[in-house]
Amino acid sequence: MQRNRWRILQPGEVSAVSKAFSDARACRVFLTFMLTGLRRSELHGLRWGHVNLVEGTLRVVASKSEEGERLIALPAALVEELMTHYQGSSYRSDTDYVFAHPTKGSAWNADEFRTKLDEALKRAGITDRIRIHDLRHAALTNLAATGASPIAVMATAGHRSMQTTKRYLTSRAWCSATTRTHCHEHCSGYRIRVPTRRNPCRRARSARSNPSSGRSRPSLRASPRVHRG
């Protein structure tokens, strides 16, 4: 039996997959991968003390190299999603994991996310093999396609050398004018619009903006900050 060939998600597919998640936490893990380019191990160790939702930044403090320890600017759309996630979590101290298990507080489980990602891909009509690490590849390729400078892509990726970054710079050649628009929308802070009522991320946003829902917008002062020093 022939094995499906893996590939990265193109910008227009990011929205389709995000709509297809039935679990809010898994949806936000997906968006964090797609809008930051984090490595799987970096997201696994991400704690609230590494995130500043006031300034809109995320600090990677444990990476595979010294260059991997970096500060990443977060798109406004992701800040909003993380703010909602923070307010709804039972684990909100600086040492708690951002994507902690909802009842145990343990670190993010890649196998559990893998299952939910596969389900979302299937619902979105994508049958090709998409690995978790391919989300990082897609994020960086799409960032390069927006016209970001090579240095900016290298810094976001946490690469040690420009040679490693070049693969993403050459991959942007497939972008047409239409695709470049999608790249800007999904990688430069544009809020992914989800029309379906079944999407968990949309439900969270709607509740925040509707006063009659009984839920108020999270206070910025209650948001986690990056450690100083």
Q: What is the pLDDT of residue 224?
A: 55
Q: What is the pLDDT of residue 195?
A: 31
Residue 189 near residue 56, CB atoms below 8 Å? no
Q: What is the pLDDT of residue 78?
A: 94
Would you mind telling me the total number of residues written for the chain in this entry?
A: 229
Domain positions in the chain are 11-203
Calpha distance 68→74 (Å, rounded): 16
End-to-end CA distance of the chain: 55
Q: What is the pLDDT of residue 131?
A: 92
* Parts of the chain with a pLDDT under 70: 1-6, 64-67, 170-229
- For 11-203, CATH number out of 1.10.443.10, 3.40.470.10, 2.60.40.420, 3.90.25.10 equals 1.10.443.10
Fill in the amino acid letter for 221. R
Q: What is the pLDDT of residue 69?
A: 85
Q: If we measure between CA atoms, which residue out of 90, 131, 95, 125 comes closest to residue 113?
A: 131
Q: What is the pLDDT of residue 7?
A: 78
Q: What is the pLDDT of residue 81?
A: 95
Q: What is the pLDDT of residue 225?
A: 53
Q: What is the pLDDT of residue 144?
A: 83
pTM reported for the whole predicted model = 0.73
Q: What is the pLDDT of residue 148?
A: 82
